[in-house]
């Protein structure tokens, strides 16, 4: 695939930390500067989370999963079910279809949420381990379609399961305090989680584990021949992204305040494909690519929603086609092809171009 | 669920009834899978928007029945319309992704699938529709086995389309060119075949087959703007069970998928019918992997 030899410098240099600190400051100040847009910004950080967790599989490892949305949805359901189930009977709560309003104290609410989020991370991790050991031995397109079917399969299961509300969905308990406080802590929850996810994932990539993932991306057969247990690495990588996706789903479920099995939790046609699109747009397997992709995509999406209301999904479908067909290497990837030294990569010139090489005469 | 299973075991005639109805529907899956295998084999593209072609063809038949025209004519109309749609799609998008990796083609056709389903939703609304055909039902053996005439007619028509297709691929020059390109595109180019035209023809033909199948779906089943992906998955399921280029396998797998789906939707309940289809794909894909895993140890 790549014709040039790339030597990676350590990714965290002073410049990176300055940019990260800048983002952290902007991210913490933004909700106070523009309080009306807090909801928007929360969605943005959820998008960043989705794109970085997808990048673990799709970008670093070259496994194009359309099923990551499963862990997102599992996180949503687990968190909401625990939040409700701790204080009342889940079955009667869902059977009432939103008829029962759960009134909790602040302490109860946050206890439920905390336990729920931990359980969501755990559930995402375990689900990824279980499913991954099943289907991660698959290569290429079989994995892509298998994971696509998996997402819809889980959505259909969830919309038939009475305990979690079946097709009519599940409502997480209402926040007992003021609305503005709710949106603010949800914003900071998503923001902090995005930051932690980013740092943990980059740390993972900088270890031997990350090298193994890249080796699997570049040539899986050779990686296996070199003694890597590729299926094990793939499964663990998926499980790591499963943890963060699960917690992210738990927060997102509380943010949306309504969990629909097909449209929010296991929504292959929205979040499932958006996360792929954001990473492709930004640049697969790059440091900043998923962030840039998420930012641009979020802007696109909001513009579509504001100016093309009713046609927004058509426009998004068109956007998928256009980006994939005309811009497959993404923004960061595009710059990387042209200015590799910006990325701390040394490019070895191709051997026949060097002056020291004797010019070979074509045999006639 | 267990009650239903016992009911079915105690009453084998009901089982046969379900299976026959399923096999009749399965003919549609055979057509969809055949088109998918065609595009996959010739162009190395897994066409995710296969199901949207089906639904689009279904809407043609639905509108025919709405305007008081016999929806059977809609089969021909859907064939022609989808031939044009497929050709336009090839000229706009698909020819750019023929040589690219599978991820690009999967994601691009997935994008087309979203685009088409959302456009259909916008134009035709998201209602579940069925084309009225005015054919009755036969009951055999004191009403134990019911046969809808339309299902028989659709089955026959699907088989005729399939047969015509096989003859076209085997005997016509154009069909030979398609097969030659599938075997070796480079060699085909050397022999003077315009492979780009062959690809366009293949893709358009696939869309047309799906459209005709979809017009039948509108009569014997229901169509819905978002229902396309299920047909794609069914097609993919049949193709990977049968293997590429295995026509008898595709027929057997398609018909048995139809039967299995009907039985499963009776046993598990109708709301789990789609879950069964998608779950089957996951299971078969895992089974394939395990089987390949065993075979690998001997190879290395």
What pLDDT, in 10s, does the model give residues B214-271? 999 888 888 888 888 889 888 988 988 887 777 888 888 899 898 888 888 888 877 7
- Which pLDDT score is estimated for A2? 43
Could you give the CA distance from residue A129 to residue A148 in angstroms, rounded to a whole number?
17
- For A121, the domain range is 38-272
Q: Is residue A323 part of a domain?
A: no
Lowest mean pLDDT among A330-344, B78-92, B103-117, B262-276: A330-344
Q: Which of A135, A137, A145 is facing B236, going by the closest CB pair?
A: A145
A311 lies within 8 A of chain B by CB: yes
> B11 pLDDT exceeds 90?
no
Among B49, B103, B224, most A C-beta atoms within 10 A, so best to mutate, is B103
> pLDDT tens digit string along A292-335?
989 998 888 888 888 877 788 888 888 888 888 888 788 888 88
Contact list in B for residue A273 (CB cut-off 8 A) is 107, 110-111, 114
Q: B289 and A152: CB-CB below 8 Å?
A: no
Sign of the alpha-carbon torsion through A344, A349, A350, A356: negative
Q: Is residue A157 part of a domain?
A: yes
A160 lies within 8 A of chain B by CB: yes
Higher pLDDT, B156 or A91: B156
Q: A310 and B122: CB-CB below 8 Å?
A: yes
Q: Which fold has domain B2-299?
A: ABC transporter involved in vitamin B12 uptake, BtuC (1.10.3470)
Q: Which of B96, B233, B292 is facing A325, going by the closest CB pair?
A: B96
Q: Is residue A115 part of a domain?
A: yes
Q: A150 and B282: CB-CB below 8 Å?
A: yes
Could you give the CA distance from residue B87 to residue B89 in angstroms, rounded to a whole number?
5
Among A1, A58, A148, most B C-beta atoms within 10 A, so best to mutate, is A148
Structural domain count of chain A: 1
Among A58, A64, A320, most B C-beta atoms within 10 A, so best to mutate, is A320
Contact list in B for residue A325 (CB cut-off 8 A) is 93, 96-97, 104, 108
Among B48, B96, B118, B291, most A C-beta atoms within 10 A, so best to mutate, is B118
Higher pLDDT, B132 or A279: A279
- Which pLDDT score is estimated for B212? 92
Q: What is the pTM of this model?
A: 0.83
Lowest mean pLDDT among A9-13, A303-307, B47-51, B123-127: A9-13
Could you give the CA distance from residue B210 to residue B231 in angstroms, rounded to a whole number?
10
- Which pLDDT score is estimated for B79? 92
Task: Show the low-confidence residues of chain A (pLDDT under 70).
Answer: 1-11, 97-99, 343-364
Q: A318 and B274: CB-CB below 8 Å?
A: no
- Which pLDDT score is estimated for A267? 80
Could you give the CA distance from residue B129 to residue B60 in angstroms, rounded to a whole number?
11
Q: Is residue A193 part of a domain?
A: yes
Does this complex have an ipTM over 0.85? no
The domains of chain B are located at 2-299
Could you give the CA distance from residue B179 to residue B33 in angstroms, rounded to a whole number?
17
A349 lies within 8 A of chain B by CB: no
Q: A314 and B118: CB-CB below 8 Å?
A: yes
- Which pLDDT score is estimated for B87? 94
Please report the DSSP string for A244-280 in residue order: HHHHHHHHHHHHHS-B-IIIIIT-IIIIIHHHHHHHH
Q: Which of A145, A157, A316 is facing B275, going by the closest CB pair?
A: A157
Q: Tally the C-alpha atoms within 13 A of residue A181's C-alpha that lie toward its C-beta.
A: 6
Contact list in A for residue B113 (CB cut-off 8 A) is 317
- Which pLDDT score is estimated for B144? 67
> B47 pLDDT exceeds 70?
yes
Answer for the pair A167, A261: CB distance below 8 angstroms, yes or no: yes
Contact list in A for residue B279 (CB cut-off 8 A) is 153, 157
- Which pLDDT score is estimated for A145? 81
- Which pLDDT score is estimated for A17? 86
A165 sits in the region (left: phi over 0; alpha: psi -120 to 50; else beta) called left
Would you list which residues of chain B are within 8 Å, Cβ to Cβ, of chain A?
A: 46, 48, 93, 96-97, 100, 102-104, 106-108, 110-119, 121-122, 226, 229, 233, 236, 240, 269, 271-272, 274-275, 278-279, 281-282, 285-286, 288-289, 292-293
A145 lies within 8 A of chain B by CB: yes
Higher pLDDT, B99 or B211: B211
Beta strands in chain B (DSSP E): 137-140, 145-148
Instruction: With CA atoms as reference, report the closest residue to B225 among B46, B54, B36.
Output: B54
Which ranges of chain A does DSSP label H, i.e. alpha helix?
A: 14-33, 38-55, 69-85, 90-95, 106-135, 140-158, 179-206, 208-218, 220-225, 230-256, 273-282, 289-307, 312-326, 330-338
Could you give the CA distance from residue A182 to residue B204 in angstroms, rounded to a whole number?
53
Could you give the CA distance from residue A358 to residue A347 in angstroms, rounded to a whole number?
21
In terms of Cβ atoms closer than 10 Å to its own Cβ (0-12, 13-18, 19+), residue B230 is buried
- Which pLDDT score is estimated for A48? 92
């Amino acid at each position: 695939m790549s014709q040039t030899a790339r030597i990676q410098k350590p990714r965290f240099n002073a410049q990176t930390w300055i940019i990260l600190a800048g983002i952290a400051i902007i991210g913490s100040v933004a909700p106070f500067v523009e309080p009306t847009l807090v909801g928007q910004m929360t969605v943005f950080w959820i998008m960043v989370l989705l794109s970085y967790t997808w990048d673990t599989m799709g970008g670093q490892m070259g496994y194009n999963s359309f099923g990551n949305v499963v862990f997102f949805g599992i996180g949503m359901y687990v968190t909401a079910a625990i939040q409700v189930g701790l204080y009342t009977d889940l079955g009667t709560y869902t059977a009432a279809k939103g008829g029962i309003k759960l009134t909790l104290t602040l302490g109860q609410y946050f206890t439920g949420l905390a336990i729920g989020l931990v359980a969501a991370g755990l559930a995402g991790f375990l689900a990824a381990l279980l499913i991954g050991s099943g289907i991660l031995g698959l290569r290429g397109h079989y994995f892509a379609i298998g994971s696509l079917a998996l997402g819809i399969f889980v959505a259909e299961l969830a919309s038939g399961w009475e305990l979690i509300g079946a097709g009519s969905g599940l409502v997480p308990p209402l926040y007992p305090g003021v609305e503005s406080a709710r949106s603010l802590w949800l914003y900071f929850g998503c923001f902090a989680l995005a930051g932690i996810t980013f740092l943990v994932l980059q740390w993972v990539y900088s270890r031997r584990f990350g090298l193994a993932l890249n080796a699997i991306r570049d040539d899986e057969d050779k990686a296996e021949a070199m003694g890597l247990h590729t299926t094990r690495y793939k499964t663990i990588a998926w499980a790591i992204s499963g943890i963060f996706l699960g917690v992210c789903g738990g927060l997102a479920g509380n943010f949306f305040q309504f969990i629909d099995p097909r449209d929010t939790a296991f929504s292959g046609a929205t979040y499932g494909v958006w996360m792929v699109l954001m990473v492709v747009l930004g640049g697969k397997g790059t440091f900043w690519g998923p962030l840039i992709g998420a930012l641009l995509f979020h802007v696109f999406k909001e513009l579509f929603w504001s100016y093309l209301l009713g046609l927004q999904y058509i426009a998004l479908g068109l956007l998928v086609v256009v980006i994939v067909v005309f811009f497959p290497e993404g923004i960061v990837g595009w710059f990387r092809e042209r200015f590799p030294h910006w990325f701390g990569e040394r490019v070895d010139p191709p051997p026949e171009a060097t002056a020291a090489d004797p010019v070979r005469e074509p045999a006639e | 669920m267990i009650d239903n299973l016992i009911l079915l075991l105690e009453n084998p005639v009901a089982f046969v009834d379900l299976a026959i109805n399923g096999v009749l529907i399965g003919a549609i899956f055979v057509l969809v899978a055949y088109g998918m295998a065609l595009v996959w084999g010739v162009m190395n593209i897994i066409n995710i928007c296969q199901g949207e072609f089906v639904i689009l063809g279904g809407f043609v038949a639905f509108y025919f029945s709405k305007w008081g025209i016999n929806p059977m004519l809609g089969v021909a109309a859907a064939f022609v319309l989808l031939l044009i749609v497929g050709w336009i799609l090839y000229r706009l998008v698909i020819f750019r992704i023929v040589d690219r990796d599978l991820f690009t083609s999967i994601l691009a056709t997935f994008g087309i699938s979203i685009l088409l389903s959302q456009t259909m939703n916008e134009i035709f609304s998201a209602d579940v529709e069925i084309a009225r055909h005015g054919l009755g039902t036969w009951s055999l053996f004191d009403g134990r086995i019911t046969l809808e005439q339309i299902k028989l007619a659709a089955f026959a028509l699907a088989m005729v389309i399939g047969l015509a297709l096989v003859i076209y691929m085997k005997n016509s020059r154009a069909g030979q060119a398609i097969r030659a390109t599938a075997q070796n595109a480079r060699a085909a180019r050397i022999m003077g075949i315009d492979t780009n035209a062959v690809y366009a023809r293949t893709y358009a033909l696939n869309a047309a087959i799906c459209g005709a199948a979809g017009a039948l779906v509108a009569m014997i089943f229901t169509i819905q703007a978002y229902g396309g992906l299920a047909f794609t998955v069914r097609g993919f399921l049949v193709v990977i069970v049968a293997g590429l280029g295995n026509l008898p396998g595709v027929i057997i797998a398609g018909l048995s998928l139809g039967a299995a789906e009907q039985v499963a939707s009776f046993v598990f309940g109708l709301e789990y019918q789609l879950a069964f289809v998608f779950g089957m794909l996951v299971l078969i894909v895992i089974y394939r992997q395990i089987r390949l895993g065993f075979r690998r140890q001997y190879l290395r």
